[in-house]
A and B are shown apart, each in its own frame.
Chain A
């Protein structure tokens, strides 16, 4: 078949999906860029992870732990050998975990070493032991499987709850203790507390015969009587204690009996938003009651509770809900839902939780991003993205949208989300759908992120006041580009190495899914590729006239042979949609932000205009020299300093701010001189004393801040001498 007919068949397939002789079914092909990732277990990557009970982040990758250990132990002459040996242990653990082994890092490490030990010398065991000792973290080891998001997020949530529980428990224990102390002291100071029977009970049984308790009680009764606590206050404290003891939000150390009686601590984990919301609404009154009891208890313990002021205040406490700061002290709820099977009612409850700013953390798990080509309705991945965008639009929801492969890198953000006082939404693609294509879940998830089909982004409402502070796109590879571009090398027909740059697009991601085989057509080996153009190129520059260029992707078969695969229009349209959604995320993240670029352009144009105008005016500029040196020019007015208006020299005044409160002037005449609110002197009533007293005060003033001015009465006796003395203070 000649080249023109071949080209016509390709165009026909691209436009209509109809296959000709030269375009075959795609078969079981994988994206060419995944050629090196056939066996994930052989590669060092972020999985498996160790779920750490303590430390900075909830999950640490085995790779990073081993690297940190190697930095400490693989030193000196044996460093290389130690490194190889420890990496072998790491690889063995990874293989064990990929094949379903479970356990803590310590257990799996021991197991791996035992399997590798036969045939190896003593240095191997020593290197493994030293490396293990250098790893301070231990915990369950988890691979990247469909359950990973649930386990990891639940673990992170549990860590955050443990901290909250401890803080709340300590606070409740302290309040109960101190309130009980108040009642106990009141009782012990009462007549009943000082009765003979009570005194006898407080002394050990060994020596009761030595004391006359009746005499002691009568002695105590004659002492100074302590006024008993008001009944209202006693009753209030008892009610507070009842509420604090009966609360069901955290377990207290001594409440085994109470729990056995049936009032169990609340479970805070749910499998649906409906159940979580129902539980929240049901617990809300008790939560308000407990929060109110805590506030009142704090005031009671400090002695600052005044019934006349606070009763009315606390009667209406929590009527309009509790603020985020108060709610942050109580445990959060965790809900794990499957986005693939989300119905309308559950979605409504989800939005109700997010819009209500309730402290509920929601894992929205998506196992399959793409809908089959013939399916109607929104694909699960798109619905997930819509929900994430709606949540961000509410402004008070922490949103984390990431593929499972990226969760380890998001460790700090996950912890932030768990500490966030309001609702948090974790949208996670597990990569489970990759299994249908024979790909590991990790690879499928990573491919989704790489191809922008499920990009990573975070919206943190507590990050700052603007989008630049709240929205993050970090973690996405080459976020400034439409698609990440990687160098790809292959061997051509003449056994020469060829190196090209390939973009990993949405079309590459979808091409790995067998459901999209109908939208792909494989070209024969060694077919002419002159009319083919890469998908990223065609989306960027357009196809040109319809008949000229046909989009394609590079794929490999099970024997790693390279194939060119034509993409039909439906898949190209989906890739274009993915690209546009990525562009909108880029704008939000400040990458190629169109507003910023337009502003920059305007500013640049303005600057260039101003620069051009200045350049045009420069040759004819006349020197206009300011006549500052000219003697006849008056000096410009002094800059407005923060000068207080100086009082007249004839007025009596005190520089009050400099008064050192020495009592000299107030001792002379307490009616003429008085202290202000800061106990610094001022002239209160000039007519309350004589000019002589004013001058005497000025002379006595330690810091010379009294200025007598001119006398009110010029006929005062000895005025001449007084004026002379006062001159020093004018």
Chain B
């Protein structure tokens, strides 16, 4: 029998309830029509619905349009340097495992300069929620091809069209050891976006969500074929994944029942070029988190800290007075 104690009931009555606007900080300066607005709305809804305490929530970002995100959330935030959102977030998590840590990174920040950190962050599987705002272009720096830009993209750095096939963040993530949660969303289906964001938050481990987002400024027509033809969005559903509402099911009829535990099927779906798969591709709740594996059971008492400091100081002693007056055994190491 699962019962709630009377004390907990009474304490819950005194809990504060925050509205969506309590998480809003400033007016976003993203372009009108930018998909980042949809992601911001979905994340603010998540914070409200999950009752996340602003002082216990952190958004960490790198550089790019996506990385303006922490400025618009009335929580703790860290707008870091290019490509380093993930290691900063990992550092936050290791020192304060009690905080809810989110990462906002872009296709350049994560898949280009930050690629090395990305690989190992997946492997470490720390309890973070990572949103890859993939607009398939470098937007903040005014239109350069990114690793995820489709082949043939004309940009300032590829005036004759990019010559390489686009990197697929999903197949890369699914190919790394210890991947525990991989999902894809699109910013123009807000209901699925919210459900995926919520599932990602609730997963204990590194939740990697690639959000295909529109860039109305530099790539205004890129996603039109998928935007205007719902059948080119393949919605993944399963009792262990997302469940579709009736209304959504009537619009998005291209549906696939996919068990998120099936890694091989996830990899096949991730490589789908024709329809964009939207949903949870892979979910393994059993993968251990790095911070749990490294958790120390020692309480950081002053005595413990003092003992550690003393042990380090004992390794050498530097005498500030004249060296020749010091006994020979006390020479600096």
A interface residue numbers (CB < 8 A to B):
173-174, 177, 207, 210, 295, 299, 306, 309-310, 313, 317, 323-326, 461-462, 465, 641-642, 644, 657-664, 667, 677-680, 700, 702-704
Contacts and interface: CB of A to CB of B under 8 A. Distances in A.
A703 B19 contact: no
Contacts of B187: 660
Contact of A662 (B4, B6, B38, B251): B38
23 contacts: A207-B320, A306-B14, A313-B10, A313-B14, A324-B3, A325-B4, A325-B5, A326-B7, A642-B246, A658-B191, A660-B35, A660-B38, A660-B187, A662-B37, A662-B216, A679-B41, A680-B41, A680-B190, A700-B33, A702-B33, A702-B214, A702-B227, A703-B227
A78 B255 CA distance: 62
Interface in B216-265: 216, 227-228, 246-247, 251
Interface in B188-234: 188-191, 193, 214, 216, 227-228
A662 B44 CA distance: 14
A664 B320 CA distance: 68
A210 B32 CA distance: 61
A661 B33 contact: no
Interface of B: 1, 3-7, 10-11, 14, 19-20, 28, 32-35, 37-38, 40-41, 44-45, 187-191, 193, 214, 216, 227-228, 246-247, 251, 299, 301, 320
Contacts of B37: 660-663
A326 B5 contact: yes
Contact of B1 (A207, A462, A663): A462
A256 to B, nearest CB: 15
A661 B5 contact: no
Given A662-B38, A664-B32, A679 B44 contact: yes
A173 B1 contact: no
Contacts of A704: 227-228
A323 B5 contact: yes
Contacts of B28: 663
Contacts of B19: 677
The 3 closest A-B pairs by CB, nearest first: A661-B41, A679-B41, A660-B38
Contacts of B251: 658
Contacts of A659: 190
Given A678-B41, A700-B33, A660 B190 contact: yes
Contacts of B41: 660-661, 678-680
A380 to B, nearest CB: 34
A420 to B, nearest CB: 11
A423 to B, nearest CB: 16
A678 B32 contact: no
Nearest to A327: B5
B228 A325 contact: no
Contacts of A173: 299
Contacts of B7: 295, 317, 323, 326
Nearest to A461: B1
A558 to B, nearest CB: 55
A624 to B, nearest CB: 34
A657 B247 CA distance: 10
A702 B216 CA distance: 9
A309 B187 CA distance: 42
B299 A678 contact: no
B175 to A, nearest CB: 31
A677 B19 CA distance: 8
Which has the most chain A C-beta neighbours within 10 Å: B1, B40, B190? B190
Nearest to B214: A702
A677 B40 contact: no
Nearest to B317: A206
A664 B38 CA distance: 12
Given A677-B19, A680-B41, A702-B188, 12 more contacts: A295-B11, A309-B14, A313-B11, A325-B3, A659-B190, A661-B190, A662-B216, A663-B37, A664-B32, A700-B33, A702-B227, A703-B188
A465 to B, nearest CB: 7
A662 B190 contact: no
B190 A657 contact: yes
A678 B41 CA distance: 7
Select the residue from A462, A661, A700 with max chain B CB neighbours within 10 A: A661
Nearest to A662: B33
Which residue, of B11, B193, B320, has the highest number of chain A Cβ atoms within 10 A?
B11
Contacts of A309: 14
Contact of B190 (A642, A658, A677, A700): A658
Given A658-B189, A664-B32, A678 B20 contact: yes
B188 to A, nearest CB: 5
Contacts of B11: 295, 299, 313
Contact of B33 (A210, A306, A664, A677): A664
A177 B299 contact: yes
